[in-house]
């Protein structure tokens, strides 16, 4: 195998796929990127950890066809330090070693035979346009950012580490919950005419969606195609593809958990509340991350304390006329909700000090965050 390639093409290809490698896998080849020639002007890069597979298509001048796997981290480190000149990559005859040259810089890097790389299974519907949904990238990314953060951590293999995604004719609804908080967003989407009437509900691992956001910055089109079968999902553009398992099971009926109305309502400036929370949080107990909120007439007092370190307090003006209420939260949950809102003010719906609290943008956006308070001792 031998090819010449521009530095930015090579680096983009590596960046798209490298996060899907498995650095601590039982199979050393899973820490590598499979590089294979497609034709005289195209290369395909593939990386997988067996749960998630990412593919990138890049342009190159192919002198000699072939394929090999190279260690992702080492390859990325080398290429990022090369000058902006054409890079030549040439496999040494009958070995798994390649030479990388760029101007006066030369590297030899030892890979693993491509025959050891897991075969990426295709599924029948991938080429069947009738079984695909085409979706606009911008609202899809926005929905992932706003609804994906409340999922349980990647390491837990339960349904709550997934994001439920409902795609109907002109609405995309996404939601996630880890049991302590919930985020749900509805976005208007444009679907191509041939997709009208198609609906699907998917539970997608939150990691898959976070990887898609990172990958999407390299995608040049406005739309991506989504293909699914019972256990697998493919998100595909002309130069990148992501293949992931789908999660199976009955996701909680999250819409039933959202209160229809709240007896006490507060309007707060988001940037003031974020700044105040970040100031007060300097003195939180790092084990619990609890900040106490005291709502008074048109005032919010925030306090935190750690027995062996000290205490903090701050006060901001708010729009609130109901009875006084003291309530406490894990401040990180509140901050994450606020930072995902694209508006100047947040409307907070309260009931009692132990009831679920609703945060939503004080505009027309259909976005809701629900946070369970912490009992104050």
For residue 247, what pLDDT is reported?
Answer: 92
Q: Is pLDDT at 314 greater than 90 in this prediction?
A: yes
Token readout for 73 is 């981290």
Q: What's the pLDDT band for 254 if we cut at 50, 70, 90? A: very high
Report whether pLDDT(26) > 90: no
pLDDT digits (tens, 9 = 90+) for 255-298: 999 998 899 999 999 999 999 999 999 999 999 999 999 999 99
Rounded to 5 degrees, what angle do the CA atoms 206, 212, 214 make? 110
pLDDT for the residue numbered 345: 97
In a domain, 187, yes or no: yes
The more confident residue out of 134 and 269 is 269
User: Looking at the domain assignment, is residue 377 inside a domain?
Assistant: no
Same domain, 236 and 277: no
78 contacts 107 by C-beta, under 8 angstroms:
yes
270 and 337, same domain (yes or no): yes
With respect to residue 235, please indicate whether it lies within any of the assigned structural domains.
yes
- Asked if 318 and 295 touch (Cβ cutoff 8 Å), the reply is yes
**pLDDT for residue 115 is more than 80:** yes
Locate tokens 């444009």: which residue? Answer: 190
Rg of the chain taking only CA atoms, in angstroms: 25
Rounded CA-CA distance 215/209 in Å is 10
Residues 308 and 293 in one domain: yes
Domain boundary among 254, 270, 299: 254
The pLDDT confidence band at residue 167, using thresholds 50, 70 and 90, is: confident
In this structure, what token pair is assigned to residue 323? 């009875």
Instruction: Answer with the one of 116, 142, 157 that is the final residue of a domain.
Output: 116
For 12, the domain range is 2-116
- Each residue's pLDDT tens digit, 193-232: 555 555 578 999 999 999 999 999 999 899 999 998 878 9
Task: Give the global pTM.
Answer: 0.88
Beta sheet of 325-330, edge-to-edge order: 310-317, 299-306, 290-296, 325-330
Rounded to the nearest 5 degrees, what angle is found at the Cα of 39, between the Cα atoms of 11 and 16? Answer: 25
Backbone angles phi, psi at 90, to 5 degrees: -135, 125
- Predicted confidence band of residue 156 (pLDDT cuts 50, 70, 90): low
Q: How far is CA 255 from the centre of its chain?
A: 22
Other CB atoms within a 10 A radius of the CB of residue 131 amount to 17
Q: What percent of the chain has pLDDT over 70?
A: 94
| Cβ atoms within 10 Å, residue 14 | 23
Place of tokens 């030369």: 106
Q: Do 132 and 219 have their domain in common?
A: yes
């Amino acid at each position: 195998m031998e090819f010449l390639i521009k530095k930015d093409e090579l680096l983009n290809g590596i960046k798209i796929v490298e996060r899907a490698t498995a650095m601590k896998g039982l199979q050393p080849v899973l820490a590598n990127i499979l590089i294979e020639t497609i034709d005289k002007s195209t290369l395909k890069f593939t990386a997988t950890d067996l749960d998630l597979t990412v593919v990138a298509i890049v342009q190159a001048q192919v002198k000699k066809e072939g394929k090999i796997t190279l260690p992702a981290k080492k390859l990325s480190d080398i290429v990022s330090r090369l000058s902006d000149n054409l890079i030549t990559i040439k496999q040494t005859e009958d070995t798994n070693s390649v030479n990388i040259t760029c101007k006066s810089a030369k590297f030899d890097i030892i890979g693993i035979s491509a025959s050891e790389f897991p075969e990426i299974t295709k599924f029948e519907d991938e080429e069947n346009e009738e079984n695909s949904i085409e979706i606009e990238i911008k609202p899809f990314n926005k929905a992932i950012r706003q609804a994906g953060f409340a999922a349980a951590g990647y390491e837990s293999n339960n349904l709550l580490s997934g994001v439920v995604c409902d795609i109907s004719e002109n609405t995309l609804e996404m939601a996630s919950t880890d049991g302590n908080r919930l985020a749900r967003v509805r976005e208007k989407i444009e679907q191509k005419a041939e997709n009208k009437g198609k609906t699907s509900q998917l539970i997608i691992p939150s990691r898959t969606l976070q990887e898609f956001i990172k990958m999407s910055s390299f995608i040049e089109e406005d739309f991506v195609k989504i293909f699914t079968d019972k256990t697998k999902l493919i998100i595909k553009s002309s130069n990148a593809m992501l293949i992931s398992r789908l999660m199976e099971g009955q996701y909680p009926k999250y819409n039933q958990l959202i209160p229809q109305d709240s007896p006490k309502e507060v309007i707060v400036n988001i940037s003031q509340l974020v700044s105040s929370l970040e100031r007060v949080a300097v003195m939180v107990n790092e084990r619990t991350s609890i900040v106490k909120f005291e709502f008074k007439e048109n005032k919010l007092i925030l306090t935190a304390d750690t027995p062996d370190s000290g205490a903090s307090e701050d006060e901001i003006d708010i729009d609130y006329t109901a009875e006084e209420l003291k309530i406490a939260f894990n401040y990180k949950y509140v901050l994450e909700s606020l930072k995902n809102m694209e508006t100047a003010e947040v409307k907070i719906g309260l009931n009692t000090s132990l009831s679920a609290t609703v945060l939503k943008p004080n505009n027309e956006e259909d976005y809701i965050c629900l946070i369970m308070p912490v009992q104050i001792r």
